[in-house]
A and B are shown apart, each in its own frame.
Chain A
Amino acid sequence: MKRHLPWLLPVATGALLIAAWYGLKRLFHVESFVLPAPDEILTAAWRERRALISAVGLTAQGAVLGFLAAVGVGFGLSMFLAFSIRIKQSFYPYILILQMTPVIILAPIFVLWLGQGLPSIVAITFMICFFPVVANTTMGFISVDRNLQELFVMCNATRSQEIRYLRVPGAMPYFLTGVKIAGTLAPIGAITGDFLAGSAQNGVGGIGFMTITYFSQLKTPALFATGMIACLLGFLFVFGVNFLHWFLLHQWHDSLVRKE
């Protein structure tokens, strides 16, 4: 019994919550366009499956592209910033300014520059994802162990050797922390981007666009179904970045090695 508890408990809690959901809906006579029942949501998801699948595909595309751009540019920028304290002092405030400007204001600007659709969505996702990558990775590049640095001096290491064999691997745990945060933000970024700057073909757009459509048509069960799908996409992303984290660090990093 005891060893089944780890999965039994959440399943039981889920069952209780669903029961309460049905109970409250029945008790207070809540209309389905206000709060649909779980089975109505599943039915709506099945009915709208074609629209939802292509919406998820579109959003995932925006999320992946924006995420990859943020990770790549973030890593390169961090290396540049960590190169000297003067460079960091010169540029960091402007990166902060970029981060502090709300995406909701940046979105129309992107639409003006890039038009409605994927390029704008990617740009918005990028804006949301890249700061955690830059902040963490820069920290990683800067906080290199002093003794290890002196070891490299004793080895007559060149600057590029020091970066390749010391700073990059040393910054990896920090970088991956940034990547993890970016991974949880990417689907949100892409959906927000789609909501603010998305476009549609034949009435089908990304998840953000479908949200607007279903809302305006008062298709509440389909709206909930969209939320459910977005949640799944988020989990997929988190799973992916967690796997990357595990893959790159499991052999040596304290957070993953099991010490007896």
Chain B
Amino acid sequence: MTAPPIVQLKATGKRFGAGPPVLEAINLEVERGEFISLIGPSGCGKSTLLRLIAGLTPPTAGEIIVDGMTPANAREEVFFVFQDSNLLPWRRVAANVELPLMLRRDLTLKRRERVKAMLELVGLGDAAEKYPWQLSGGMKMRVSIARALSVAPHILLLDEPFGALDEMTRDHLNEDLLGIRARDPFTAFFVTHSVAEAVFLSTRVVVLSANPGRVHRVITVPFPYPRPPELRETPEFLQLLAETSRELRAVRH
């Protein structure tokens, strides 16, 4: 008997008010431990899809089941990494990482040690006492990821987390993210504009079409983990990259 999918979207649709549907008839089953990238033209509703799974906004059609519960009830198991780092400017780095633990009153994890471990995991052990303004964009994003991981979520939703960073920083953070996941396995939903990023990270890439957002194609990425940086230069990777780009162009009309 196989384990039930951790996230199920059944004919899920979303429209805001009386406007046209943003998402329509989304069907997707995601197994525990998968890394799903969502890619598509702007306005295809990929961020909205993340927000639906987070329970930040309700669907207007169909159903979403997160670990057997409604998204709002499953929030304990989910965390969100926002588009910009979304840190509280008046709290030091360590206090920012500690925030979800404090607010959720999670007593199972020892807070201080957990914060320290998470900061070391993202390579920012020395920055604990700094304020966000003292950090670069890439460092802030690392703090944001440490904060998300602090509550040991089963599901991590990442909304274009590296979109504002330069390519080199982005590649590094991609490698780091996979490294972290190898130690701390979580199911990931990752919204991005970068095909290379999507293919490098994911087990499956979901290509969405726009107006309304629908699943255009789901591409399975066969490469096993751990994935070394050199994977990006192999013909197989480049071929899959080309295929994914073609699919993306097809929906970009």
Interface residues of A (CB under 8 A from B): 147-148, 150-157, 161, 165-166, 169-170, 172, 251-254, 257, 259
- B75 engages A156 (CB within 8 Å): yes
| Residues of chain B in range 127-165 having any CB-CB distance to chain A below 8 Å | 131-133
Which residues of the other chain, B, contact A172 by a CB distance below 8 angstroms? 90
Among A155, A170, A172, A252, the most chain B Cβ lie within 10 Å of the Cβ of A155
- B88 engages A155 (CB within 8 Å): no
Which residues of the other chain, B, contact A157 by a CB distance below 8 angstroms? 103
Among candidates A154, A169, A251, A253, residue contacting B88 with C-beta atoms closer than 8 Å: A169
- A156 engages B131 (CB within 8 Å): no
Q: Interface extent on B, as a size class?
A: 20 to 34
A165/B103 contact (C-beta < 8 A), A148-B86, A154-B54, A156-B75 known: yes
Identity of the chain A residue whose Cβ is nearest the Cβ of B133 in the assembled complex? A257
| Residues of chain B in range 149-206 having any CB-CB distance to chain A below 8 Å | none
Say whether chain B's binding surface is mostly helix, strand, loop, or mixed: mixed
| Residues of chain B in range 52-87 having any CB-CB distance to chain A below 8 Å | 54, 56, 75-76, 78-80, 82-84, 86
- A161 engages B56 (CB within 8 Å): no
Query: Is B39 part of the contact surface with A, judged by Cβ < 8 Å?
Result: no
- A252 engages B104 (CB within 8 Å): no
The contact sample of 5 A-B pairs, CB cut-off 8 A, is A154-B75, A156-B75, A165-B103, A251-B131, A254-B133
What is the 8 Å Cβ interface bit string for chain B, positions 87-109, against chain A (1 contact, 0 not)?
01110000000011011100000
A153/B56 contact (C-beta < 8 A), A147-B82, A252-B133 known: yes
**How far, in angstroms, from A136 to B129 measured CA to CA in the complex?**
31
The 7 closest A-B pairs by CB, nearest first: A155-B103, A157-B103, A155-B100, A252-B90, A169-B90, A154-B80, A147-B86
Expressed in whole angstroms, the minimum distance between the Cβ of B92 and any Cβ of chain A is 9
Identity of the chain A residue whose Cβ is nearest the Cβ of B57 in the assembled complex? A150
